């Protein structure tokens, strides 16, 4: 079950041109996934992953940002290559 959403276009680079994310697996990965959504919800992450696999046209990545102390809620960031995938996700996020 969906709880809360924070929609952000994640910056892709520092002003000096360097990658903002430490430990980026490859140069340019962050640039490819430049549109993100942060949300907190109850439920299985598999529902989100299944939807992404079925519906996204571009690349995406799911990162668990945190969990509640009692493990009943999860906060995740979902990063998208395509803004259109992010918007489609936002339109459907309340189904999770």
Contacts of 46 (CB under 8 A, 6+ apart): none
Q: What is the pLDDT of residue 29?
A: 52
Q: How confident is the model at residue 32 (pLDDT cuts 50, 70, 90)?
A: confident
Per-residue pLDDT reduced to its tens digit, 38-91: 999 888 889 999 999 999 999 999 999 999 999 889 999 999 999 999 999 999
d(C-alpha 79, C-alpha 48), whole Å: 12
Q: What is the pLDDT of residue 18?
A: 46
Integer angstrom CA distances of residue 69 from 6, 73, 91? 21, 9, 29
């Amino acid at each position: 079950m969906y709880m809360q959403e924070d929609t952000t276009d994640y910056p892709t680079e520092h002003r000096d041109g360097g990658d903002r994310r430490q430990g980026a697996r490859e140069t340019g990965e962050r640039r490819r996934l430049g549109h993100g959504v942060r949300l907190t919800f109850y439920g299985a992450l598999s529902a989100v992953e299944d939807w992404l696999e079925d519906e996204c046209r571009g690349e995406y990545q799911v990162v668990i940002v945190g969990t509640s102390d009692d493990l009943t809620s999860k906060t995740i960031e979902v990063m998208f290559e395509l803004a259109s995938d992010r918007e489609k996700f936002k339109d459907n996020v309340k189904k999770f």
